[in-house]
A and B are shown apart, each in its own frame.
Chain A
Amino acid sequence: AQSVTQPDIHITVSEGASLELRCNYSYGATPYLFWYVQSPGQGLQLLLKYFSGDTLVQGIKGFEAEFKRSQSSFNLRKPSVHWSDAAEYFCAVGSNSGYALNFGKGTSLLVTP
């Protein structure tokens, strides 16, 4: 069965610093991978997705993620964090069959001045 692990529950970074949020997945075949962001009291917004091809994918708001099959990882990165990036971030994995996406438990990002 698919599963997603986000090892960091909370992360604090200074504004302007770089950011990396970790995501590890467990899935036998090539996964479909997603990163979502959720502001407090809001729904989830898709940041980026990986289906196949280039393992470095670009998303909205200056985010990127790299798929590393050997490490079963899909880490999210941003070179310079803005205060507005403070939110909850979710990694999710899908498959070529079925309907459910499996979500990690999320990483809460705090941005300090």
Chain B
Amino acid sequence: SQTIHQWPATLVQPVGSPLSLECTVEGTSNPNLYWYRQAAGRGLQLLFYSVGIGQISSEVPQNLSASRPQDRQFILSSKKLLLSDSGFYLCAWSVAGARDEQFFGPGTRLTVL
């Protein structure tokens, strides 16, 4: 069966520090991968998605970037965190794009101070 992992589970970082969040999927090949941010009362905002190694699409211009160095690994990064980057970050995968359900990881709670 497929599983999706995210780490760390929680992170507290000072403003201006770098960020690296990792997501890995097991039990499937060539998944579509997604990064979402969830802020209180605002639902889920799609940040990036990837349909293959090295292929990244950005949905919202911002302080963050994403990379996919391996088929089942998706990384969310920032060079300098802003206070507004605080939130709950969710990684997800799917087989076939927006006509298919997405399966979510447990999330990372990021607090920028």
Chain B residues near A45 (CB-CB < 8 A): 104
A71 at interface, CB cutoff 8 A: no
Counted as pairs of residues, one from A and one from B, with CB atoms less than 8 Å apart, the total is 62
Are B41 and A43 touching (Cβ within 8 A)? no
Known: A99-B32, A100-B49. A44 touches B43 (CB 8 A): no
| 8 Å CB interface, A92-107 against B | 94-101, 103-106
Q: Select from chain B the residue with minimum beta-carbon distance to A42.
A: B106
Are A99 and B90 touching (Cβ within 8 A)? no
Distance A90 CA – B103 CA, assembled complex (angstroms): 14
Are A98 and B97 touching (Cβ within 8 A)? yes
A113 at interface, CB cutoff 8 A: no
Q: Please give the number of chain B residues whose Cβ is less than 8 angstroms from any Cβ of chain A in the complex.
A: 27
B46 at interface, CB cutoff 8 A: yes
Known: A41-B109, A99-B32, A99-B57. A51 touches B99 (CB 8 A): yes
| A contact set with B: CB distance below 8 Å | 9, 32, 34, 36, 41-46, 49, 51, 90, 94-101, 103-106
Given contacts A44-B104, A99-B94, A105-B42, 9 further A-B contacts (CB under 8 A): A41-B107, A42-B107, A43-B90, A44-B92, A97-B97, A100-B46, A101-B102, A103-B44, A106-B43
